[in-house]
Structure 1
Amino acid sequence: MSLANQKIAVYVTGGIAVYKVAGLVRQLIKAGATVQVAMTQSATEFVTPLTFATLTKRPVLTDLFAVDQPDQVAHIHLADWSDLAIVAPATANVLAKLANGLADDFVTTALLATTAPKLIVPAMNEHMWLNPATQRNVQQLVTDGLTVMQPATGFLAEGYNGQGRFPEEAQIVAQATRLLTPQLLKDQVVVVTAGGTTEPLDPVRFIGNRSSGKMGYAVAQVAAMLGAKVILISTRPELAVPAQLERVIYVQTAAELQGAVQAVYDQANIVVMAAAVADFKPVQYAPQKIKKQVNQTDFQLNLTKNPDILAALGQQKTTQFLVGFAAETNDLLSNAQVKLAAKQVDLLVANDVSQTDRGFNADDNEVTLLWADGTTEKLPLTTKVTIATQILTRIAQVQK
């Protein structure tokens, strides 16, 4: 999801992490936002306003009493202009000021006048962060409706590890995007499965497939952006977990995935079965590595069918909106139509996985939506995040 056409005011206050905000501003602009920076005088001691002016192509605001445009009150104009205000890094000092409504410079005066959502990104020494006064101020800001991120833990400027580091740019951009995204799935519980299940033959071999899990992770990411409480059930622990998920459950086999889904199915409003589940598993598991015999030229493997998880969920569903995926290499629509009827899903997402530029392992996808009422819609080739956005937006519209 992008920040296209969004107007974001970035308020920079005086901590050592100021230098990291330049990268954040750059990422916000790359995501499509128009960014206006305002700085406290203390912040200008760490990084000059010229740095931010060069990045944003806009003059940096620092002086509450400057009259560059007599027809505007600068701090009020910025407050009214903003779709989102980000305070980064937010020092203990500015947290205290904001919590108590103080306005003694351009930054705090503009923030006091801002009615748009506010995202606070603290960064400071661990002892300052954990001080009871700071924690009281943070709680007051949360009570007042501001979003306060938790600082990261790691190596601090003082030379030791602790909590207080500036969060990663990607986490901040993701939180900003969430705050600017209509909460179409607010308070909905969305269960998403992702990745390909594996069925072990012996301690070193397994039956699996080429599913990367990227489509399921995109669905989980977008669902969280849309305000849902997301439970992700994944076979891919190596993938970065999207921000703001309620819970992540890792599984390997089809049986484990089935158990994990069943455990949360009753509480779910929407279930998106994006995982590629192995249809068969070995009849027997060999506790030791299967060794090739001398002069052996073939090996017979006996398989048995795995439970049909999607079909079982279709039979059990009450109020859940159930979404299935059909990964096909030929006769996409005809095979998908059969699966749509057999699985009793509300929506089937069909995609061709025979091509290398989309589907399995790719960042892009092209899918056809088959609805239970018989209507179909083709979504053209685009990123999996965009596909996930289109799918979930349509589901939200149907649920109204």
Structure 2
Amino acid sequence: MEHEAADENTRNHLAGRHLLLIIGGGIAAYKVLELIRRAKDRGLGVRAIMTQAATEFVTPLSVASLTGEKAFTDLFSLTDEADIGHIALSRSADLVVVAPATADLLAKMANGHADDYASTALLATDKPVLVAPAMNPRMWAHAATRRNVETLQADGIHFVGPYSGAMAERGESGFGRMAEPAEILAAIEALLSPVPLLLSGDGGHEKQLALLPLAGKRVLVTSGPTHEPIDPVRYIANRSSGRQGHAIAEAAAQAGAEVILVSGPVNLPDPHGVKVRHVTTARDMLAAVLAALPVDIAIFAAAVADWRTAEEADAKIKKGAGTMPQFTLIENPDILATVAKGAPRPGLVVGFAAETDTVLDHARAKLERKGCDWIVANDVGKGTGVMGGERNTVHLVSKDGIESWPTMDKTEVARRLVARAAAALRAADPQA
């Protein structure tokens, strides 16, 4: 019933609003057809401008059939431009959405170019603009693109994505994949929300920011393993790549949160837009976590080593014939329980349970023992490929029951978890 009420509220504030959708020329253009369908289903009016390159990926007829309006492509059309149509289009919408926002379109926007229908409308609009970038990872990481993105962000352009994942090019993967239609629609809903978030800007002036699902919230995420030294060469650790935790941190940042990621040793780049604290041991991680408090949400995805040696050897322990070193192990601090049962306690505390057998039984017991709100449980047994892999199958365990999710990319698990966390905060305090 809660989801039905939320959907009805969304339709109420979207009904009668209008989007101008600018479709760029990239393989991800096929996704805009689903975006149009979802937008229309929520009562949004949609008109579309297509770049010439976009028509190589989706046809104007397909776009027109879904929007119920002509798809505009020609800046010099004698009929469309008789009354300066690109100006009227850019001003009549409540929001302009660019998807896919190619590197070329971002460069034109950042530098004020106006040499086709799309770029001219973007330069002429006085409405908010949301872009969903999509391009090859090397193009996204290029210094020129980074400069253009920084310029656009400073100009007040809103971004959704891009995310990490497989590219259309064989063997290519990384940041550059366009957000899914549901994610773009969530950003549209936030930008068209009747309740904007006001924050103090420079010089005492107020500036209006889009009310993204986690705008104004602080989120703490832990990720990766911890390394507990035995001697200067060896250590105790868990098999964790950090992929899931890093994906959660990035998803929370994309949802508008201020994110602090406390990461153990991993071979991953720091997520974009996230404050990262690099640590090595469980004790380091606990100190960094406590220093990050207070936060609204804490998600503990790190695979913290349960034990460490009572004493760390100063020199490498040498192998001796017929002798085995003896170690005394002591427990590491319980970071999840410390935060869940301490103060200031976050509004939502989420733990992870990586299990190899009776997964749900262990997860329910951990939920009770640790005092957290949710446990994200998964099977990491031999042959599952979860540890170090890119896909995950999880169960969201709470006092209300168990919700089993299908197998999906870890980036998709992250987005779904962040969306559920944002919804839980809103349900707990609708005025927040």
TM-score by length of 2: 0.64
* Match status 1:110 vs 2:112: no
Looking at structure 1, the residues matched to 31 and 116 of structure 2 have their Cα atoms a distance apart, in angstroms, of 29
Looking at structure 2, the residues matched to 109 and 29 of structure 1 have their Cα atoms a distance apart, in angstroms, of 23
Distance 1:258 1:175, change over 3 A: farther
* Match status 1:241 vs 2:270: yes
User: Contact 2:224–2:266 (CA<8 Å) still a contact in 1?
Assistant: no
* Match status 1:344 vs 2:371: yes
User: Contact 2:20–2:89 (CA<8 Å) still a contact in 1?
Assistant: no
Residue 258 (structure 1) aligns with: 286
> What are the equivalent positions in structure 2 for 1:239-388 lying under 5 Å apart?
239-245=268-274, 247-266=275-294, 268-293=295-320, 295-320=321-346, 321-357=348-384, 359-371=386-398, 373-388=399-414
* Identity over aligned pairs, percent: 30
Residue 170 (structure 1) aligns with: 175
Looking at structure 1, the residues matched to 401 and 132 of structure 2 have their Cα atoms a distance apart, in angstroms, of 45
Partner amino acid, structure 1, of 2:331: K
Distance 1:80 1:257, change over 3 A: same
User: Contact 1:27–1:169 (CA<8 Å) still a contact in 2?
Assistant: no
User: Contact 1:332–1:350 (CA<8 Å) still a contact in 2?
Assistant: yes
For residue 230 of structure 2, give the secondary structure of its aligned residue in structure 1. Answer: strand
Looking at structure 2, the residues matched to 349 and 29 of structure 1 have their Cα atoms a distance apart, in angstroms, of 33
For residue 288 of structure 2, give the secondary structure of its aligned residue in structure 1. Answer: helix
User: Contact 1:190–1:269 (CA<8 Å) still a contact in 2?
Assistant: yes
Deviation at 1:296, TM superposition (A): 2.4
Pick aligned residue for 1:61 from 55, 63, 73:
73
Distance 1:257 1:76, change over 3 A: same
Pick aligned residue for 1:194 from 223, 227, 237:
223
Runs of 5+ unmatched residues, structure 2? 1-18, 37-47, 61-70, 134-139, 161-172, 191-211, 427-432
Give the alignment's Cα RMSD to 1 decimal.
4.3
For residue 9 of structure 1, give the secondary structure of its aligned residue in structure 2. Answer: strand
Partner amino acid, structure 2, of 1:190: V
For residue 245 of structure 2, give the secondary structure of its aligned residue in structure 1. Answer: helix
Deviation at 1:97, TM superposition (A): 5.2
Partner amino acid, structure 2, of 1:275: A
> What are the equivalent positions in structure 2 for 1:115-134 lying under 5 Å apart?
115-119=127-131
Q: Deviations over 1:99-145 (max 9, x none)?
A: xxxx8974454222463524499x9xx99x99xxx9xxx59x846x3
For residue 276 of structure 1, give the secondary structure of its aligned residue in structure 2. Answer: coil
Looking at structure 1, the residues matched to 230 and 129 of structure 2 have their Cα atoms a distance apart, in angstroms, of 53
Distance 1:54 1:73, change over 3 A: same
For residue 170 of structure 1, give the secondary structure of its aligned residue in structure 2. Answer: strand
Q: Deviations over 1:77-105 (max 9, x none)?
A: 5775975134854799965758xxxx897
User: Contact 1:7–1:33 (CA<8 Å) still a contact in 2?
Assistant: no
User: Contact 2:29–2:58 (CA<8 Å) still a contact in 1?
Assistant: no
Query: Which shifted more, 213-222 or 58-67?
Result: 58-67
Residue 164 (structure 1) aligns with: none
Partner amino acid, structure 2, of 1:344: G
Partner amino acid, structure 1, of 2:262: I
User: Contact 2:23–2:29 (CA<8 Å) still a contact in 1?
Assistant: no
User: Contact 1:198–1:254 (CA<8 Å) still a contact in 2?
Assistant: yes
Deviation at 1:331, TM superposition (A): 1.8
TM-score by length of 1: 0.69
Distance 1:82 1:65, change over 3 A: farther
* Match status 1:228 vs 2:257: yes
Pick aligned residue for 1:389 from 412, 415, 422:
415
Looking at structure 2, the residues matched to 359 and 92 of structure 1 have their Cα atoms a distance apart, in angstroms, of 38
Looking at structure 1, the residues matched to 117 and 345 of structure 2 have their Cα atoms a distance apart, in angstroms, of 51
Q: How many residues align?
A: 336
